Structure 1
Amino acid sequence: MKLFTLLLGLVLLCLGQNILAQEISEESSRLTFGGYGEVVYRHFDYSDDFNRYTYPENFTEKVSRGQTDIPHLVFNVTYEFGKGWKVSSEIEFEHGGVGSEMEIEAEEFGEYETEVEKGGEVILEQFWIEKSFSSRFNIRAGHIIVPVGSTNYGHLPTEYFTVMRPEGESTIIPQTWHENGISIHGRLRMWDYDFQVVNGLDVDAFGSSNWVNGGSISPYEYKLATSMAGAFRINNYSVNGLRIGLSGYAGNSAGNSLKADRYEGLKGTVLIGSADVEYRSQNLIARSCVIYGNLSESAEISKINKSLPSAAPSPHTDVAKNAMSFMAEAGYNVLSFFPQAEGQLYTFLHYTYYNSMQNTVAGMLADARYKRQLYTLGLNYYPIPQIALKAEYSMRVFDKPYNQENTLSLGVTFSGIFK
């Protein structure tokens, strides 16, 4: 009897351990970790003096300077609760994060002083809760990506050829664009869709060089949302290997300012439309994207922004009625000619045209420095799909009298799921 009891106890113990192990395994499978990042070296043959556009005739000589950077390091955690519920968060360290310390300055009468150790940002890029009813219909609420343009839709460093994110899109609209709001998204046969309601852009931050780009970054502890906005993306996959995407944004901005009374009577409506395509075959990847934007009452907004107090989070410059960006790139895997070679090596060409002052209202100068073209030749080597080693040479070309700017860039990048 004692032997039977002992054997029964051992069986129950083993069963308990198996059940516990299964529960731990199921719990673990609900939790995933991922991330992406880049380490970059860049060498420039032009001066970084801010006067090079004001007095271009004084900066015709080539210079030699370099810099290293960690543009993005991002970690993502997603947990599936079950019954269609999940939560996800993503934190981004830009340019290595920030650092500061408190110290007593002997040269300043022993006063406490905060020393900034380095530049950079730490940003909550995503934080949302989602309820999935089926692959066709899902609701997401929280801090979400606004999928306007090709780079906001595919912003991982393994999803574009250039070392840095495509320059045109990154100049005129936010990258990666993330706002607080609600998303309804899903997949219907050869189509997928994403319709969003998010907080609008901050009118204070619009300017000449970056159009409405800065309007997504709030300098406050909260995001202004007196004016809301809508965004959408629709993709079609009817042709094998081809994705065709349409995306857009519409929202007023004049109400999203701590000085909203200055913009009384204005709407500051921002309209952005974008079309992008991507084609992938066994050894060829080609992408293209065009973005066009319109800002209503740009003359009135420019006048107000330039009159804001100097401490206001504003460039204090004119902002154009229209901005535009066009990008096309194509790469071919040359290692396909060497069957024994490991990995993939894409030789690519990239072209970008962008102008943050594409069209201006009467009486506003459309400065030629903001009309830029970028020509890039480069290589991407993928030893495995999650890692890309990048090298490129680019030429940024302006209309006269501005000088051409050439850059050699090297990058080590990754993106993937860790668990």
Structure 2
Amino acid sequence: MKRIETIIASCVINMAVATTAAGQDITDSKRLSGEIYTEVNHGHRYYGNERTIWDFPHIVGAATAEFGRGWSIEVELEYERIHEDGEWCNDLKDNFSSNKLYVNKRWSDALNIKFGIVDIPIGITNAGGPALTIYDPESESRIMPMTWHEAGAALHGQYKNVSWSVALLAYSDFTLSNTTMLGSAVTADLRPADGLRIGIGGFAGKPHHGMIHAFADCFDRQNGTTFYCALSADYENNGITADGSLIYRSADGGRSFGAEIGYDIGSLMTAERISAIPFVRHDRTAHTAEPDMAKWTFGINISPISNLTIKAEYGLRHLSGCETEKCIDAGIGYSIPF
């Protein structure tokens, strides 16, 4: 996957140069916007001899550059360094990821095409939803890739209160003769009311390359096609944050459920806005390679000032046939928009 990311990065840069040159007569329309987010987390590790984990530094940089005439480039880069089993992981190849790196051409709100390293927005977390936990919800991270991205192209758009995307995904090892199709992903979101999104997404492909390949160890590698299907919904309005997802994986009949709800008690204050969201979450997974799991999480997210977030949570996690584990996690993050 790192090879194809290098190739695509070069192509995207060349495309940016060419697009800039072609649009020199409309340079006033160029815009650059984005965000840099960094966080430090300390939490409980469920496997291994050492049961704690540090996450530092964890930096995510995202930016969109618009070049006019409907052309833009979107990039999201992530670096995450983890301390586990008594040592830091200092391998740049393992710590760094290009979550998004694509060129987008817009004809209208309803019709766009993007190509490069494209995101696979299936589920709550991969779609950038409002998950409140410090780490990715286990109902999703145990069954499919997180920050799921692959090389490919996608048609996407929004018409009235419906948004959609259809992606064709591929894997390449420098040469066209070694290029193979990974599969396809389809998503559709309905927004019937303010703050409410209801989505459905699916993936069909072979788990032999790309990010899905990492999850091939979780089920038998097979010659056939692996299917994912996900139903998800989230609501953010009137101080309430709620979301949930149901996911099914055909390879092993794996399935999961996750849901959470929180309320911003800071919205009750009439003074300068301070956000404080206590929440509760429940996750369940079944029929995956690991034992069936059920987990309750109770936490709070506090933003005492703009762009600063402090998180703390307590979890009760039970694996089938094992004792219930108790854990405490904490984290602090800061974002810099531009």
Instruction: Pick the TM interval, shorter chain.
Output: 0.7 to 0.9
Match 2:265 to one of 315, 334, 338: 334
Identity, in percent, stands at 29
Structure 1 pair 251/403, CA: closer, same or farther in 2 (3 Å)? Answer: same
Partner of 2:333: 413
Counterpart of 1:179 in 2: which secondary structure?
A: strand
CA distance in 1, matches of 2:335, 2:117: 21
1:252-284 CA-to-partner distances (Å, cap 9, x unmatched) read 346999xxxxxxxx6321110000111122111
Note if 1:160 corresponds to 2:161: no
Match 1:324 to one of 255, 258, 276: 255
Tell me the amino acid that sits aligned with residue 165 of structure 2: D
CA distance in 1, matches of 2:29, 2:158: 27
What is the deviation of 1:340?
Answer: 3.1
CA distance in 1, matches of 2:228, 2:209: 18
List aligned pairs for 1:18-37, cutoff 5 A: 30-37=31-38
Tell me the amino acid that sits aligned with residue 268 of structure 1: G
Tell me the amino acid that sits aligned with residue 273 of structure 2: E
Which is richer in strand? 2
Partner of 1:70: 56
Counterpart of 2:297 in 1: which secondary structure?
A: strand
Tell me the amino acid that sits aligned with residue 68 of structure 1: W
Counterpart of 1:173 in 2: which secondary structure?
A: coil
What is the deviation of 1:79?
Answer: 1.8
Partner of 2:12: none
Structure 1 pair 404/230, CA: closer, same or farther in 2 (3 Å)? Answer: same
What is the deviation of 1:48?
Answer: 3.0
CA distance in 2, matches of 1:30, 1:340: 34
Structure 1 pair 242/71, CA: closer, same or farther in 2 (3 Å)? Answer: farther
1:235-260 CA-to-partner distances (Å, cap 9, x unmatched) read 11112331101111111346999xxx
Structure 1 unaligned spans of 5+: 1-22, 50-63, 98-115, 201-217, 258-265, 296-320, 358-365
CA distance in 2, matches of 1:165, 1:255: 23
1:75-95 CA-to-partner distances (Å, cap 9, x unmatched) read 123321110111222221122
Counterpart of 2:35 in 1: which secondary structure?
A: strand
Retained in 1: the 8 A contact 2:267–2:273?
Answer: no
Structure 1 pair 37/355, CA: closer, same or farther in 2 (3 Å)? Answer: farther
CA distance in 2, matches of 1:40, 1:353: 23
Tell me the amino acid that sits aligned with residue 267 of structure 1: N
1:55-78 CA-to-partner distances (Å, cap 9, x unmatched) read xxxxxxxxx954321374111233
What is the deviation of 1:375?
Answer: 0.4
What is the CA RMSD across the aligned residues, in angstroms? 3.1
Counterpart of 2:99 in 1: which secondary structure?
A: strand
Structure 1 pair 416/237, CA: closer, same or farther in 2 (3 Å)? Answer: farther
Structure 1 pair 83/28, CA: closer, same or farther in 2 (3 Å)? Answer: closer
Retained in 2: the 8 A contact 1:34–1:76?
Answer: yes
1:190-234 CA-to-partner distances (Å, cap 9, x unmatched) read 10111111127xxxxxxxxxxxxxxxxx9x889975233110111
- Corresponding residue pairs, total: 297
Structure 2 unaligned spans of 5+: 1-23, 214-221
Structure 1 pair 78/27, CA: closer, same or farther in 2 (3 Å)? Answer: farther
Retained in 1: the 8 A contact 2:156–2:164?
Answer: yes
Report runs of 4+ in structure 1 exceeding 6 Å deviation. Answer: 220-224
Retained in 2: the 8 A contact 1:396–1:404?
Answer: yes
More displaced 10-residue stretch of structure 1: 276-285 or 173-182 = 276-285
Structure 1 pair 385/29, CA: closer, same or farther in 2 (3 Å)? Answer: farther
Normalised to the residue count of structure 2, the TM-score between the two structures is 0.78
What is the deviation of 1:31?
Answer: 2.1
Partner of 1:288: 244
Retained in 1: the 8 A contact 2:267–2:274?
Answer: no
Retained in 2: the 8 A contact 1:287–1:328?
Answer: yes
Tell me the amino acid that sits aligned with residue 412 of structure 1: I
Note if 1:135 corresponds to 2:109: yes
Match 1:199 to one of 167, 170, 173: 170
Normalised to the residue count of structure 1, the TM-score between the two structures is 0.64
1:350-406 CA-to-partner distances (Å, cap 9, x unmatched) read 00001352xxxxxxxx7xx52111100000112356432111001111222x12222
Partner of 2:216: none
